[in-house]
């Protein structure tokens, strides 16, 4: 990319370069995300008037009518936290997918193949079936612990081996954890089974502001770590020998990126269940818009992931009203043909 298309900010010995094309693409995606979020706030089984939405953001006048108060309650208690959580989960999965594909140098790598999703799901399913009296706040915390344990187990078993071995060990662990989880499900009651299967499909109906706060904290923390690792990741993409000769601490950077990606996936699964295809598709779509910079790819994947999950959740709520489908089902229906199309478009690269 030529210098005319780049903007460099300098402060003393520090400088930060922005490439204009990826920056404009990211801005356009962000505006699209905001537009979809506003549409999602207005639509659903109960339509909300636009003036009520303005009042909710304190941009319009409030009145004491029962209709507006009911609409404000729908927005604040149900629709707004669900929409925020959908965007956060999509961003977490998109960023994690970009990191996993970069670490394994495999465009078909997905965060779920490392056992993280199954580890988090097994921990939460165990809580639902065996300790249902525990407060809801414990579920995401235990889910994150289970996902981290699974991801770190894969990392320790693979050690310094090739990325192919890492993926294969992750797949084997995923199968094992899934088998254990279905053994638990086969011995559960019908009511518990229905609750668990709905959650496993990827559901945002139980979104609360507490889960939004937890997801926001994890996303911001992990995103900061990943962005700080981007310069080293760019150098490492040029080759292991060159990265080592330039003083890049490859093991440390790879471990930080891996742990951050695992935590992002575990958190998403813990608060919203399984969301298929997002971590796989979002990085490929981001590569169509961004340059080869790890930072551009990471940010683009996060915004596209948020847009994918939010769009799927809006369709799940509005397209089949008054019936609400799990968001994960809509993602699977839309994601499978999209992935096939992407693979066909980039068939020479796989």
18 contacts 9 by C-beta, under 8 angstroms: yes
Report the range of poorest mean pLDDT among 87-91, 339-343, 345-349. 345-349
Tell me phi and psi for residue 50, to 5 degrees. -65, -35
Task: Identify which has the larger pLDDT, 161 or 209.
Answer: 209
Beta bridge partners of residue 21, listed in sequence order: none
Q: Where are the domains of the chain?
A: 82-200+209-349
Mean pLDDT, rounded, for 135-162: 79
Q: Say what the pLDDT of residue 203 is.
A: 80
Give 276 or 312, the one with higher predicted confidence.
312
Lowest mean pLDDT across 21-25, 46-50, 89-93, 108-112: 108-112
What's the Cα-to-Cα distance from 181 to each of 120, 178, 186, 266, 328, rounded to whole Å? Answer: 11, 5, 9, 16, 19
CB 80 within 8 A of CB 72: no
Centre a 10 Å sphere on the Cβ of residue 232 and count the other Cβ atoms it contains: 21
Instruction: Determine the average pLDDT of the residues in 205-218.
Output: 90
Average pLDDT, the chain: 82
DSSP string, 95-160: HHHHHHHHHHT-TT--GGGGTHHHHHHHHHHHHHHH-TTS-TTHHHHHHHHHHHHHHHHHHHHHTT
pLDDT reported for residue 1: 45
Q: Assign 60 to helix, strand or coil.
A: coil
| Highest-scoring range by mean pLDDT, 60-69, 95-104, 182-191 | 95-104
Region for 321 from its dihedrals, namely left if φ exceeds 0, alpha if ψ lies in -120 to 50, beta otherwise: beta
Q: What is the value of pTM for the model shown?
A: 0.88
How large is the C-alpha radius of gyration of the chain? Answer: 21
Tokens matching residue 287 = 């590569």
**Ranges of H-type helices in the chain:** 20-42, 50-56, 66-74, 80-104, 116-130, 138-158, 163-186, 190-200, 209-236, 240-245, 250-272, 278-289, 294-318, 327-345
C-alpha 199/C-alpha 203 separation (Å) is 5
Q: Does residue 322 have a cis peptide bond before it, meaning omega lies within 30 degrees of 0?
A: yes
Can you give the pLDDT at residue 224?
Answer: 94
What is the rounded distance in angstroms from the CA atom of residue 307 to the CA atom of residue 313?
10
Q: By CB neighbour count within 10 A (0-12 exposed, 13-18 middle, 19+ buried), where does 277 fall? A: buried
Nearest to 221 by CA among 253, 256, 252, 247: 256
CATH of 82-200+209-349, one of 3.40.50.720, 3.90.1720.10, 1.10.3470.10, 1.20.58.220: 1.10.3470.10
CB 179 within 8 A of CB 121: no
Q: Are 114 and 149 in contact (CB under 8 A)?
A: no
- What is the average pLDDT across 28-32? 92
């Amino acid at each position: 990319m030529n210098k005319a298309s780049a903007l460099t900010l300098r402060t003393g010995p520090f400088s930060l370069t922005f490439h204009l094309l990826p920056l404009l693409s990211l801005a356009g995606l962000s505006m699209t995300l905001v537009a979809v979020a506003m549409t999602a706030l207005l639509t659903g089984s109960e339509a909300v008037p636009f003036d009520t939405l303005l009042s909710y953001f304190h941009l319009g006048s409030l009145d004491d009518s029962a209709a507006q108060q009911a609409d404000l309650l729908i927005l604040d208690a149900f629709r707004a936290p669900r929409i925020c959580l959908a965007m956060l989960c999509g961003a977490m999965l998109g960023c994690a997918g970009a990191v996993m594909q970069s670490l394994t140098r495999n465009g078909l790598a997905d965060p779920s193949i490392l056992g993280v999703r199954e580890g988090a799901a097994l921990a939460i399913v165990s809580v639902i079936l065996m300790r249902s009296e525990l407060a809801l706040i414990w579920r995401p915390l235990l889910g994150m612990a289970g996902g981290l344990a699974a991801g770190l187990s894969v990392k320790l078993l693979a050690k310094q081996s090739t990325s192919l071995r890492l993926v294969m060990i992750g797949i084997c662990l995923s199968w094992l954890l899934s088998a254990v989880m279905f053994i638990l499900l086969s011995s559960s009651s019908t009511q518990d089974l229905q609750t668990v299967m709905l959650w496993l499909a990827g559901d945002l109906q139980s979104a609360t502001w507490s889960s939004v706060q937890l997801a926001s904290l994890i996303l911001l923390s992990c995103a900061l770590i990943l962005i700080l690792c981007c310069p080293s990741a760019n150098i490492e993409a040029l080759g292991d020998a060159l990265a080592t000769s330039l003083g890049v601490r490859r093991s440390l950077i790879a471990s930080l990126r891996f742990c951050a990606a695992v935590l992002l996936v575990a958190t998403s699964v813990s608060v919203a269940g399984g969301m298929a295809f997002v971590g796989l598709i979002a990085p490929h779509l981001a590569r169509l818009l961004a340059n080869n910079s790890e930072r551009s790819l990471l940010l683009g994947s996060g915004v596209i992931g948020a847009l994918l999950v939010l769009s799927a959740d809006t369709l799940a709520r509005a397209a089949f009203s008054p019936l609400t489908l799990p968001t994960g089902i809509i993602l699977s229906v839309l994601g499978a043909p999209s992935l096939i199309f992407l693979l066909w478009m980039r068939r020479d690269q796989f």
